[in-house]
Amino acid sequence: MVATLATASLFPVTWPKPQSGAGTFGKVGNEPGSVDLRGNKTKSVNSGGMQVKANSQAPTEVNGSRKRVTNGLKTEGNLITHAPRTVINQLPDWSVLLASITTIFLAAEKQWMMLDWMTKRPDLDPFGLGKIVQDGLGFRENFLIRSYEVGADRNASIETIMNHLQETALNHAKSVGLMGNGFGSTPEMFKRNLFWVVTKMHVIVDRYPTWGDVVQVDTWIARNGKNSMRRDWLLRDCKTGDILIRASSNWVMMNKETRRLSKIPDEVRGEIEHLFVDAPPVVDDDCRKLPKLEETTADYVRNGLTPRWSDLDVNQHVNNVKYIGWVLESAPQVVEKYELASITLEYRRECRKDSVVKSLTSILGGGDDGDNSGIADSNHVTCQHVLLSEGGGDGAPGGEIVKGRTEWRPKYI
Residue 156 contacts residue 208 (beta carbons within 8 Å): yes
Partners of 210 in beta bridges: 155
Indicate if 255 belongs to the active site: no
Relative orientation angle of helices 320-329 and 158-175, to the nearest 10 degrees: 170
- Select which of 171, 238, 319, 351 is catalytic: 351
Alpha-carbon distance of 306 to 285, in angstroms, equals 31
- Select which of 315, 319, 320, 385 is catalytic: 315
Residue 228 contacts residue 250 (beta carbons within 8 Å): yes
Query: Burial letters for 130-153: b for 16+ Cβ neighbours within 10 Å, e otherwise?
Result: beeeeeebbbbbbbbbeeebbeee
pTM exceeding the 0.85 threshold for the entire prediction: no
- Select which of 317, 319, 320, 385 is catalytic: 317
Number of Cα atoms under 13 Å in the Cβ half of residue 376: 2
Nearest to 163 by CA among 233, 67, 81, 260: 233
Indicate if 172 belongs to the active site: no
Indicate if 380 belongs to the active site: no
Tens of each residue's pLDDT in the chain, 413 residues? 444 444 444 444 444 444 444 444 344 444 444 444 344 444 444 444 444 444 444 445 444 444 444 444 444 444 455 556 665 566 566 777 787 888 888 888 777 776 665 555 555 555 556 888 888 889 999 999 999 999 888 999 999 999 999 999 989 988 887 776 656 678 889 889 898 889 999 999 999 999 999 999 999 999 998 889 999 999 999 999 999 999 999 999 999 888 889 999 999 999 999 999 999 999 988 778 888 888 888 999 999 999 888 888 877 788 888 999 999 888 877 888 899 999 999 999 888 888 899 999 999 876 444 444 445 557 889 999 999 988 755 555 668 999 999 999 998 75
